[in-house]
């Protein structure tokens, strides 16, 4: 490298900001640019549903670092309201456009980080472009939704997709007094996190709270002139003025594709263990890439802030001259819905079957504190093991408390590649008001171990 290293990062969300922080730590003198088409620097997308519910009072609270942090502490050139239009890989430059003035300019780079994230997929539903149809990805998406909600005559909101975002929005809107109908094409809610036997616990709770859920059903049409007036579901016309599409997000790869960077079979940017793309000096991180999954040993978009942040660190370090490896993901994820903490690590039984992994599982319910102690809460655990290797490949927890900390423990077990027998006897801390003598995770591991040995004999 001759002279000062020039690093350009496209995207200023979780992955982009972490990449900038790590690039600065790795190379104190580099010139760093971050390009973002947003008007704000990184903010928590994960917090958007809680602004809708009113638990978080404004969008500004979601901003992670003030602009000063980028400019003064990190000493990076933050270019907000700016779109990266194209990448010239032979010239090593990015053409950017100021979205306010329309001015275009070229930025030269020595290394480039693509942290372009993902965007809601446009579903093939008739009428999807009508006024009153929203997706939930950015602050402006939610600002438009909130504005729309101010002038409604129909209180019914239809949500397409019962994944994490669809369910979190359903709860937030019901807290605000709206009636919510969720339409999910698959057989059960939260399909990426939970198997149907576990998801049914949350499904039941949501219905008790007044949410209507139609699974195995798709939205046939959105009806209205310019604005949404009704939806067609199973041939029935249901009047509504609002449809929220929370079905699927696709990796944002147009820029990479145009630049000749390889895209994987699952639609994300292909990277190696250094998060380097098919073109030298171009790295990628976060929702735009296909992440290596530690269990299936396959790469697919994982699309969680958890992975985006860790990958941002690796990509930023390597763009600044380091050689760090991304170890792979354990897919650990959590949410809280209708008073239930829900957490998962690894893969579901359904995904294991799809991937051709022969697995077995056990479901147990145990208490989070000593059985005699007031306010001990039941927690349901599903533990999944690979029959051949006898190792844990997934876990799901649902309870009023303690789900996510146990999923984190399973993520560690997966990362450490420990056997089920080791998990069974794992020493977990115990005191009656805090946790039981045998942790619910140990109890599930013991039951699964017994099931596994009976299968082998």
Ligand X SMILES: Cc1cc2nc3c(=O)[nH]c(=O)nc-3n(C[C@H](O)[C@H](O)[C@H](O)COP(=O)(O)OP(=O)(O)OC[C@H]3O[C@@H](n4cnc5c(N)ncnc54)[C@H](O)[C@@H]3O)c2cc1C
Q: What residues between 201 and 240 interact with ligand X by CB under 6 A?
A: none
Tokens of 262: 């390889």
CB of 210 to ligand X, least distance (A): 21
CA distances from 241 to 136, 169, 221 (A): 17, 16, 13
Q: Is 329 in the site for ligand X (CB under 6 A)?
A: no
Q: Which of 113, 308, 340, 452 binds ligand X (CB under 6 A)?
A: 308
Q: Where are the extended beta strands (E) located within 168-240? A: 179-184, 212-215, 219-223, 230-233, 236-239
Task: Please report how many Cα atoms fall inside a 13 Å half-sphere around the Cα of residue 426, on the Cβ side.
Answer: 22
Q: Are 25 and 99 in contact (CB under 8 A)?
A: no
Q: Which of 5, 37, 203, 369 binds ligand X (CB under 6 A)?
A: 37
Q: Is 48 in the site for ligand X (CB under 6 A)?
A: yes
Q: Which of 9, 21, 107, 136 binds ligand X (CB under 6 A)?
A: 136
Q: Which of 13, 242, 299, 348 binds ligand X (CB under 6 A)?
A: 13
Q: How many Å separate Cα 100 from the centre of its chain?
A: 30
Tokens of 420: 């089920």
The C-alpha atoms of residue 457 and residue 449 are separated, in whole angstroms, by: 12
3-state DSSP assignment of residue 255 = helix
CB of 386 to ligand X, least distance (A): 25
The residue range among 302-310, 320-328, 387-395, 431-439 that interacts with ligand X, by the rule CB under 6 A, is 302-310
Measured from the CB atom, the residue of 320 and 423 that comes closer to ligand X is 320
CB of 255 to ligand X, least distance (A): 5
CB of 142 to ligand X, least distance (A): 8
The residue range among 9-17, 60-68, 337-345, 381-389 that interacts with ligand X, by the rule CB under 6 A, is 9-17
Q: Is 291 in the site for ligand X (CB under 6 A)?
A: no
Q: Is 404 in the site for ligand X (CB under 6 A)?
A: no
Q: Which of 7, 8, 15, 317 binds ligand X (CB under 6 A)?
A: 15
Q: Which of 26, 36, 330, 344 binds ligand X (CB under 6 A)?
A: 36
Q: Which of 291, 303, 435, 442 binds ligand X (CB under 6 A)?
A: 303
Tokens of 174: 């019901």
Q: What residues between 84 and 123 interact with ligand X by CB under 6 A?
A: 84, 115-118
The answer for residues whose C-beta is within 8 angstroms of residue 372's C-beta and 6 or more apart is 432
Structural Rg of the chain based on CA atoms: 23
Measured from the CB atom, the residue of 343 and 384 that comes closer to ligand X is 343
The C-alpha atoms of residue 316 and residue 27 are separated, in whole angstroms, by: 10
Q: Which of 16, 161, 331, 402 binds ligand X (CB under 6 A)?
A: 16
CB of 207 to ligand X, least distance (A): 22
CB of 52 to ligand X, least distance (A): 9
H-run or E-run covering 78:
strand 77-79
Measured from the CB atom, the residue of 97 and 369 that comes closer to ligand X is 97
Task: Please report how many Cα atoms fall inside a 13 Å half-sphere around the Cα of residue 71, on the Cβ side.
Answer: 7
429: annotated active-site residue: no
The answer for residues whose C-beta is within 8 angstroms of residue 267's C-beta and 6 or more apart is 250, 251, 253, 290, 301
> In 3-state terms, the chain is what percent helix, strand and coil (to 5)?
30, 30, 40
Note the residues at the interface with ligand X (CB under 6 A). Answer: 10-11, 13-16, 35-38, 45-46, 48-49, 83-84, 115-118, 136-137, 164-165, 252, 255, 286-287, 303-306, 308, 335
Active site residues: 46
């Amino acid at each position: 490298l001759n002279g000062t290293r020039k690093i350009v990062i496209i995207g200023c969300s979780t992955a982009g900001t972490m990449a900038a922080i790590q690039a600065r730590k790795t190379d104190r003198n580099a010139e760093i640019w971050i390009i973002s088409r947003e008007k704000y620097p990184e903010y928590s997308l994960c917090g958007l549903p809680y602004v809708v519910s009113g638990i978080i009072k404004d969008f500004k609270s979601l901003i992670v670092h003030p602009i000063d942090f980028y400019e003064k502490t990190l000493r990076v050139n933050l270019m907000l309201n700016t779109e990266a239009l194209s990448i010239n890989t032979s010239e090593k430059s990015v053409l950017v456009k100021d979205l306010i003035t329309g001015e275009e300019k070229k930025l030269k780079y020595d290394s480039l980080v693509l942290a372009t994230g993902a965007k809601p997929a446009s579903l093939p539903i008739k009428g999807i472009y009508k006024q009153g149809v929203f997706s939930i990805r950015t602050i402006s998406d939610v600002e438009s939704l909130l504005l729309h909600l101010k002038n409604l005559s129909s209180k019914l909101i239809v949500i397409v997709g019962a994944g994490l975002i669809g369910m979190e929005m359903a709860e937030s809107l019901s807290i605000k007094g709206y009636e919510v109908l969720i339409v999910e094409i698959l057989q059960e809610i939260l399909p990426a996190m939970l198997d149907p036997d576990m998801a049914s616990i949350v499904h039941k709770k949501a219905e008790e709270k007044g949410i209507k859920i139609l699974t195995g059903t798709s939205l046939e049409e959105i009806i209205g002139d310019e604005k949404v007036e009704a939806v067609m579901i199973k041939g029935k016309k249901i009047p509504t003025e609002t449809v929220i599409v929370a079905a699927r997000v696709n990796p944002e790869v147009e820029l990479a594709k145009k630049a000749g960077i390889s895209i994987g079979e699952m639609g994300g940017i292909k990277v190696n263990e250094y998060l380097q793309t098919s073109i030298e000096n171009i790295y990628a991180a976060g929702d735009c890439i296909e992440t290596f999954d530690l269990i299936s040993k396959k790469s697919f978009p994982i699309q969680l802030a958890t992975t985006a942040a860790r990958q941002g660190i690796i990509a930023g370090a390597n763009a600044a001259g380091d050689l760090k490896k991304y170890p792979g993901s354990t897919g650990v994820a959590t949410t809280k819905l209708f008073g239930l903490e829900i957490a998962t690590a690894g893969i579901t039984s359904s995904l294991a079957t799809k991937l051709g992994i022969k697995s077995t599982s056990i479901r147990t319910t145990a208490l989070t504190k000593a059985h005699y102690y007031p306010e001990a809460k039941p927690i349901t655990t599903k533990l999944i093991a690979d029959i051949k290797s006898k190792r844990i490949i997934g876990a799901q927890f649902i309870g009023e408390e303690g789900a996510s900390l146990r999923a984190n423990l399973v993520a560690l077990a997966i990362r450490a590649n420990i056997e089920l027998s080791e998990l069974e006897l794992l020493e977990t801390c115990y005191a009656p008001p805090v946790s039981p003598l045998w942790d619910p995770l140990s109890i599930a591991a013991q039951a699964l171990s017994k099931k596994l040995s009976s299968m082998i004999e």
